[in-house]
Structure 1
């Protein structure tokens, strides 16, 4: 039986995936819903690339909630190794066990070796946890920001994803009875090796268009008025078309809507925009470039466009 046959309770169609994600407040386009459906159906890892804040990580969280699966997250960083990603031995506890055995006069080294290298002294990290399917089905394994690691870890991960197994010299091989649902994300700070990408289904997660971003706000921040949502999206979309060091992602859009709601704003005005740019933009150079007359120019243009649309 292959991996896709072992995973149960999965959406039966692309439309079902759209509705599944929507039920958790994630408004996905057809292309993303299709690749999610195929990854689930084929039992293949899903590799998502895109700018920070466009919703790559959220896909794993939403699938975990919607499918009722445990979410196991491996947050990647420079220098990540097997000890932090897969397993390590609890050396302190092992030393205590050895000293207790010596104090009790237990000098059988073979038996002691078996005892201290048993599973009770094993610290299981995310990749090993993901191979041990809990009740309720295989977990969702999120390998977040893989591009932050080095090529050596990437090569090791390739082996794990090929067979969904890990060999622990002292205990043997641990193989997943039911492979986890794997979501890998990258912000593309460096290129991930082609060999790993070939093991996965690939999708570039871009910024949403205006209509979908308004829908995202309605789903995730229903307290925001229609007028505010449209003005916020218009302003954010204009910023993304400009020359910024870091354009705001969907995460920043939602944060900005939340901040504006806390300020009881029902529409944008130049003063409120200038006062809250730090919620939307994360670099001082970008804030300086946008505040003042530039922010007012963009806001005036957005309001004029919305008014023109309302008249048609």
Structure 2
């Protein structure tokens, strides 16, 4: 029996209802991950919609999204659990009956004094959740190795309490911006999906859903311009979210058709590095060609 009873058509319709513009291989990967109870590793450039997929998945399943944001130096205490030392100290100070250390230790190292972090919360939640392990490539290899226990058996070990199995196996989605190569051991435990920036037509479709007040002409111009912009050698290509914000900014400024003046006036809203802005400014005419 699959962990989530859902059909491929229901996945497709759920993503569309959540206004997530997708392609068949994304729908297929999500469906297979759900029915096989396998973590889904989603790789691709920053801003291509990987994190949004987890948010949409939680909304589609009508459940909680538990997010673990990875970073260099992340360890078990921030990801799994830590003890509430202040509460433990207060308990020790309040013990006026002279209880034995054995009795006290059983008390202060019980679940009452445990602070759940995202991983532990995800497997002990009263109902199935979506666990997002975001930007796993930013974490250290040591932390990646630690994740294997969770992703292999969906259980965690707490020395003072023993092994804690999952009450409900979470739906797990990991994202990576490909900053470093992930281990083969981690990849073996996951289904894999690569999400790239959308093409012009798909991005125009996203704009139609997210910025419906923009007319079709402006949506096409924005999508075409951003698509060409991403082909430049930039430090940071515009994300989908930045494209949406740029389109909204153009409308706020009363711009309903792209021209060189409007682009140069607002380019810094789309590109966040001055070096990229200067590089793009010199190419505005060619980037706008046939885009009006």
Q: Which residue of 2 aligns with 1:69?
A: 63
Maintained 8 Å contact 1:48/1:204: yes
Q: Which residue of 2 aligns with 1:92?
A: 86
Q: What's the CA shift string for 1:76-103, capped at 9, x where partnerless?
A: 00000000000000111111111111xx
Distance 2:212 2:184 in 1: 41
Maintained 8 Å contact 1:47/1:202: yes
Distance 2:2 2:35 in 1: 10
The answer to whether 1:269 aligns with 2:259 is yes
Q: What's the CA shift string for 1:137-185, capped at 9, x where partnerless?
A: 4100000000000111101101111000011111121111321000000
Q: What's the CA shift string for 1:196-231, capped at 9, x where partnerless?
A: 011000011011111111111111221211111000
- After TM superposition, the score normalised by the length of structure 2 is 0.96
Q: What's the CA shift string for 1:78-131, capped at 9, x where partnerless?
A: 000000000000111111111111xx2323211111111111111000000000
User: Aligned runs of 1:126-205 on 2, under 5 Å?
Assistant: 126-134=118-126, 137-205=127-195
What value does the CA root-mean-square deviation take over the aligned residues?
1.3
Maintained 8 Å contact 1:7/1:138: no
Distance 1:199 1:300 in 2: 46
- After TM superposition, the score normalised by the length of structure 1 is 0.90
Maintained 8 Å contact 2:221/2:291: yes
The answer to whether 1:7 aligns with 2:37 is no
Q: Which residue of 2 aligns with 1:310?
A: none
User: Aligned runs of 1:39-118 on 2, under 5 Å?
Assistant: 39-101=33-95, 104-118=96-110
| Gaps in structure 1 of 5+ consecutive residues | 304-312
Distance 2:283 2:215 in 1: 25
The answer to whether 1:283 aligns with 2:273 is yes
The answer to whether 1:32 aligns with 2:26 is yes
Distance 1:262 1:63 in 2: 31
Distance 2:177 2:270 in 1: 19
The alpha carbon displacement at 1:242 in A equals 2.2
Instruction: Give the length in aligned residue pairs.
Output: 292
Maintained 8 Å contact 2:2/2:35: no
Distance 1:20 1:107 in 2: 56
Return 107-116 or 179-188, whichever deviates more. 107-116
2:113 to 95, 102, 121: 121
The answer to whether 1:295 aligns with 2:291 is no
| Gaps in structure 2 of 5+ consecutive residues | none
Distance 1:181 1:241 in 2: 34
Distance 1:298 1:148 in 2: 33
Q: Which residue of 2 aligns with 1:309?
A: none
Q: SS where residue 54 of structure 1 aligns?
A: coil
Maintained 8 Å contact 2:3/2:36: no
The alpha carbon displacement at 1:6 in A equals 5.4
Distance 1:85 1:110 in 2: 29
